[in-house]
Homo-oligomer: A and B are copies of this chain.
Amino acid sequence: MTETPPAKDEDARRHAEKKAKIKAARDRMMATKTGEKGLVVVLTGPGKGKSSSAFGMVMRAIAHGMPVAVVQFIKGAMATGERDFLLTHFPDLCLFHTMGEGFTWETQDLARDKAAARAGWEKAKEMIRDPSNRLVLLDEINIALRYDYLEVAEVVDFLLDEKPAMTHVILTGRNAKPELIALADLVTEMTVVKHPFRDGIKAQPGIEF
């Protein structure tokens, strides 16, 4: 009488077989991914995580010793604490320019908003043109584009024509324009599933700023 293996061993064998198949498929897929290029990354959508994800990528670049530049189009989108933190700890790797005048609903002056957006974009071009900046974050530029404080065609044309090949540019903010999404290499939409503001909880350090 031959012994049948216990069911537990049979489960483990089937698990191993299935996982080996998945791993082989994944290895084949990843072997085709050999290119390197500076990406245009768009982080958009109404959910939380656009700004923290962008800040995370800035920190990752810094962790790799890659020089970074941040242009803030809307003051308050990235917290003052984050800027101070970057400039205090990594002054040699991070440039930081705040051009905005507060969230758009805080200002009541169209001409001032447009001038701030224009100043931000001029600074952004300067940062992107300098190839020593390996990652440039245009924080909340989508807000400026959405309200037509800035022409999306101008931004798209510049990225196509003048962005150095190896420079990553991250553009954040809700309601990213379709022209920008069409141009981008990587686009993530952050969707709200649940938000604590609904329950009367205010913005808190470590989470929102």
Which A residues form the contact surface with B (CB < 8 A)? 11-12, 15-17, 19-20, 22-23, 26, 30, 32-37, 39, 41-45, 47-57, 59-64, 66, 79, 81-82, 84-85, 89, 104-111, 134-135, 168, 181, 184-197, 199-207, 209
A79 to B56 Cα, complex, angstroms: 12
Let me know if B194 and A187 touch, CB within 8 A: yes
Complex contacts, A195 vs chain B, CB 8 Å: 186
Say how many copies of this protein the assembly contains.
Answer: 2
Let me know if B189 and A193 touch, CB within 8 A: yes
Complex contacts, A84 vs chain B, CB 8 Å: 63
Let me know if B57 and A59 touch, CB within 8 A: no
Interface of A is mostly: mixed
Let me know if A193 and B204 touch, CB within 8 A: no
The 7 closest A-B pairs by CB, nearest first: A56-B56, A61-B206, A52-B56, A187-B193, A63-B85, A16-B108, A55-B56
Shortest distance from the beta carbon of A179 to any chain B beta carbon, whole Å: 14
A140 to B56 Cα, complex, angstroms: 16
Shortest distance from the beta carbon of A181 to any chain B beta carbon, whole Å: 6
Known contacts: A52-B53, A186-B207. The answer to whether A201 contacts B60 by CB under 8 A is no
Complex contacts, A30 vs chain B, CB 8 Å: 202
Complex contacts, A85 vs chain B, CB 8 Å: 59, 62-63
